[in-house]
Chains A and B, each alone.
Chain A
Amino acid sequence: MATQIISAIIVIIVGVGGCVAYFWGANRLLELVFPARGTSGKTAIDNLRRQGFIRPWLFVGPALLILGVYLIYPVVETLRLSFLDRGGQNFVGFDNYLWAIGDREFRISILNNLLWLAVVPAVCTFLGLVIAVLTDRIWWGTIAKSLVFMPLAISFVGASVIWKFIYEYRAADQTQIGLLNAFVTWLGFEPQVWISIPFWNNLFLMVILVWIQTGFAMVILSAALRGIPDETIEAAVIDGANGFQIFWKIMIPQIWGTIAVVWTTITILVLKVFDIVLTMTNGQWNTQVLANLMFDWMFRGGGDFGRGATIAIVIMMAVIPIMIWNIRQANREADGG
């Protein structure tokens, strides 16, 4: 253990030192090869231009290398693998995709993912907006926000343990130690094994992600609400609008862009939801989702990389529209500024 700590510290020093050495050394080398000082007129200008040409690539070089190896190459490779067999040796055409369409578990995953997509972003955004509006008008709003925000720091696995404890089931004649069943029996109903009730169990898993992500939606939307100019609301008040009208007709339209950002961010997160399903049910009782199915196929029976890659591509295809929208949005901003 001690050696592990020491080696970690050494790596930090070597890693950071290496980075510094690279950037400093590369820059130094550039100045030595194309000296700008101590040379006369035209050479100095030429060398300065050459430096200006090369230096940006020295700066972005390491980042490009890592992005290339860890993100760009894998995207291409995953696409290629999805057309190959389990070991990645033989070309099988669209067999993996046809398998996916015919596979019961895959279809369940698609339906569940659609259910997650329909429920979680909407609920998080709605609750986040409501809490942002409510907390903005009380003196202890900051503390309240902090507490609603807190689950964002908790890992999905930790959150799963927390909620598994809430859903804990005991036979009807025993004392219920799970909060939900205790509440249900207190109301006079029978205790339930919540995470194995078909269809509804998906909702109980979604509750976990909603619990985590509502704080995120709340913080972003709260900042957007504060950015609304006072005049628009004052004008509405003078015109005799009530609170409800002000909220729907004045405030919501002005933060529409932010709502879209929150919605898409949570949508991407939902597409990748993995830890919660793995730890709560591991896909049993019809709760399977794509990300967990993909992980499963990576290792099931020694791993089927073709099918795993195919599922990854399906997730990726769902993300592509958002990706294009993001890039266009960023380009528009760049052109505007």
Chain B
Amino acid sequence: MAAKAGRSFFGRWGVHLAVLAIVIVWTLPTMGILVSSLRDRDQIIVSGWWTALAGSEQTEAGRLAGPDAQIERDGRFVIEGLLFEEGDPRRISAFGTRATAPTATEAGVEADLGDGVTLTVEADSRYVMTSPVAFEGRGQRVYFSALSPPRFTTENYETVLLSEGIGRSFVNSLTVTIPATIIPILIAAFAAYALAWMRFPGRAILIAVIIGLLVVPLQMSLIPLLKLYNGVGAFFGVPAKTYLGIWLAHTGFGLPFAIFLLRSYIAGLPREIMESARIDGASDFDIFVRIVLPLSFPVLASFAIFQFLWVWNDLLVAMVFLGTGRDQLVLTGKLNALLGSRGGDWEILTTSAFVTIIVPLIVFFSLQRYFVRGLLAGSVKGG
């Protein structure tokens, strides 16, 4: 329908091109860190990641062999050799002998260095230098521009996972996320069932309160809870920043949305099923466990994905309720710390960022159906 109407306005190809452009703009940023995380530091510094497949051009300096390598041939003194080691994949495109003109001569062309001295450097780094008189002093210094073929490495991943502490933070993030995803589900499901199918005084007010709480900014809770945690910690002589504390905090912050989402789904289940079960003598508890929970699987999955993504990606709650020690710093916090301490080290930052986003991306792409369903059902929530 919309397609038919649209043909006259947007050209057939215009739509394809416009969407293609949008998709490129939206994926390019993520591509950038993925590609960069696979390149080594030297390549990242000298060339943009989008040139990764073209190889990178780099100007370097080297020294030819000294006078003791010279041989006399046809009345001229000759020094021969290789600038690179055997098997080096780089190719030389140009060379020179002065730092001010490092690429004065193309590879394979004979350069005149004055006083009858000539130097030729081939693309494969083989060089020949000749002179009418014997060479003296140190070997000749040469500058050259070398083209490295595309090269990818997983070295960065080894570095960040093992020595930068990202590996440890990954475990910390899992430790925070999994209980903080599971705990609210059961609590919310019971409450949602009661609010959907049981009659009791104050029900309507409770529902209104929960809808109101949906949009309460997290910022409202931070200071009182921080004080409360510090107080509890001091009273019992335990640390104020614990995993238990953050699990409960995430449970609390996720609960309004969980109840809201689950209630609207559970309220939509067919009345006949519950009534026939009740006639058969089932209590509310039986009905909930045997009928409502299994039927609610899709919405439970939706909420679980939401909560997982939200907790995994959270920085604020973790910064307030968890410490910054190695054993408590989560991935987002670690990445934030790295932005400060390793500001320009893009090989570390891009790789760490990719490790941080890979888990949510996998969850997202594999369970997108449930995610979208939850989004459509609960789009009142502020995120």
Contact = CB atoms under 8 A, between A and B. Distances in A.
A272 B218 contact: yes
A146 interface: yes
Nearest to A318: B217
B360 A161 contact: no
Interface stretch (A56-64, A96-104, A110-118, A190-198): A56-64
B73 interface: no
B319 to A, nearest CB: 8
Interface in A303-337: 305, 308-309, 311-313, 315-316, 319, 322-323, 326-327, 330-331, 334
Nearest to B28: A179
A322 B194 CA distance: 26
B283 interface: yes
B211 A16 contact: no
B143 interface: no
Interface string B226-254: 11100000000000000110011101110
A223 interface: yes
B208 A230 contact: no
A284 interface: no
B381 A265 contact: yes
Nearest to B206: A60
Contacts of B45: 177
A145 B269 CA distance: 30
A138 B220 CA distance: 45
A155 B309 CA distance: 8
A103 B372 CA distance: 43
A80 B253 CA distance: 21
Contacts of A298: 222-223, 226, 320
Contact of B327 (A4, A52, A156, A246): A4
Contacts of A220: 375-376, 379
B363 to A, nearest CB: 7
Contacts of B319: 295
A211 interface: yes
A161 B349 contact: yes
Nearest to B32: A165
Give chain B's interface residue range (CB within 8 Å of chain A).
35 or more
A154 B30 contact: yes
Interface string B185-207: 01110110111001110011011
B221 A151 contact: no
Contacts of A81: 223-224
Contacts of B7: 243
B248 A312 contact: no
B4 A161 contact: no
B33 interface: yes
Contact of B336 (A141, A168, A243, A279): A279
Nearest to B33: A162
Query: Helix, strand, loop or mixed for chain B's interface?
Result: helix
Contacts of A206: none
Nearest to A19: B186
Contacts of B228: 69
B339 A164 contact: yes
B193 A59 contact: yes
B353 interface: yes
A154 B360 contact: yes
Contact of B217 (A157, A234, A315): A315
Interface string A13-39: 001100110011001000100000000
Interface in B330-365: 332, 335-336, 339, 346, 349-350, 352-353, 356-357, 360-361, 363-365
A171 interface: no
Interface in A67-120: 67, 69-75, 77-78, 81, 88
Interface of A: 1, 4-5, 7-8, 11-12, 15-16, 19-20, 23-24, 27, 31, 51-53, 55-57, 59-60, 62-64, 66-67, 69-75, 77-78, 81, 88, 131, 133-138, 140-141, 144, 146-158, 160-166, 168, 175-179, 182, 211, 214-216, 219-220, 223, 225, 230, 233-234, 236-237, 241-244, 246, 251, 261-262, 265, 268-269, 271-272, 274-275, 278-279, 291, 294-295, 298, 305, 308-309, 311-313, 315-316, 319, 322-323, 326-327, 330-331, 334
Among all A-B residue pairs, the 8 with the closest Cβ atoms = A70-B252, A243-B9, A268-B382, A155-B313, A63-B191, A153-B364, A59-B194, A77-B224
20 contacts: A12-B179, A15-B179, A19-B187, A53-B200, A59-B191, A62-B187, A63-B188, A63-B259, A70-B248, A137-B2, A137-B6, A162-B29, A179-B48, A237-B5, A251-B2, A261-B380, A265-B380, A295-B222, A308-B223, A322-B215
Given A19-B186, A243-B6, A312-B223, 16 more contacts: A8-B243, A12-B178, A24-B285, A56-B200, A59-B194, A62-B187, A69-B252, A77-B227, A155-B314, A155-B315, A161-B352, A163-B29, A177-B44, A275-B316, A294-B222, A322-B215
Interface of B: 1-10, 15-16, 18-19, 22-23, 26-30, 32-33, 36, 44-50, 168, 171-172, 174-175, 178-179, 182-183, 186-188, 190-191, 193-195, 198-200, 203-204, 206-228, 243-244, 247-249, 251-253, 255-256, 259, 283-285, 288, 309, 312-316, 319-320, 327, 332, 335-336, 339, 346, 349-350, 352-353, 356-357, 360-361, 363-365, 368, 372, 375-376, 379-383
